[in-house]
């Protein structure tokens, strides 16, 4: 089952994150899917919420591409360490386009039930991203 769960997450990364195939979400995530953010007000709810989030990322970084660096699966959980590269050519969280290339790293922990992702705990290096965009001074 763990290998099957890893393949499900890999498919989500490729089809949804990299190709922008939001229709695949119907097959890959539960209707009540939740991405837990750093705080409850940052949570993303449902397929529609996921589409809004990914669309916002794509508008800011149209060439954004995710690569899976590592995956570990046990039971109903899949841990994925990833890196993404893109170019900041659209507004991102109030930051106007800079034209700068960025490299973002992150780790997601997905919980799978009945063959679909039902929960995700997602963390990415937002401070590093803001430093690359010149919003926060590098130390």
What value does the mean pLDDT take over residues 46-63? 95
Beta carbons of 55 and 21 less than 8 angstroms apart? no
Is 121 a residue whose pLDDT tops 70?
yes
pLDDT band (50, 70, 90) for residue 136: confident
pLDDT tens by residue, 73-115: 999 999 999 999 999 999 999 999 999 999 999 999 999 999 9
Quote the percentage of the chain above a pLDDT of 90: 91
Strands 77-87 and 29-36, sheet pairing: unpaired
The pTM (predicted TM-score) of the whole model is 0.92
The domains found in the chain, sorted by start residue, are 2-132 (3.10.450.50)
**Quick one: pLDDT at residue 139?**
66
């Amino acid at each position: 089952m763990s290998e099957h769960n890893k393949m499900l997450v890999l498919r989500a990364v490729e089809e949804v994150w990299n190709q922008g195939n939001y229709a695949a979400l119907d097959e890959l995530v539960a209707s009540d899917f939740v991405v837990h953010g750093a705080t409850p007000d940052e949570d993303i709810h449902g397929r529609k919420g996921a589409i809004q989030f990914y669309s916002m990322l794509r508008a800011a970084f149209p060439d954004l591409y995710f690569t899976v660096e590592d995956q570990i699966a046990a039971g109903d959980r899949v841990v994925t360490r990833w890196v993404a590269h893109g170019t900041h050519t659209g507004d991102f969280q109030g930051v106007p386009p800079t034209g700068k290339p960025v490299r973002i790293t992150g780790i997601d922990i997905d919980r799978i039930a009945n063959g679909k992702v039902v929960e995700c705990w997602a963390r990415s290096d937002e401070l590093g991203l803001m430093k690359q965009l010149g919003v926060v001074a590098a130390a």
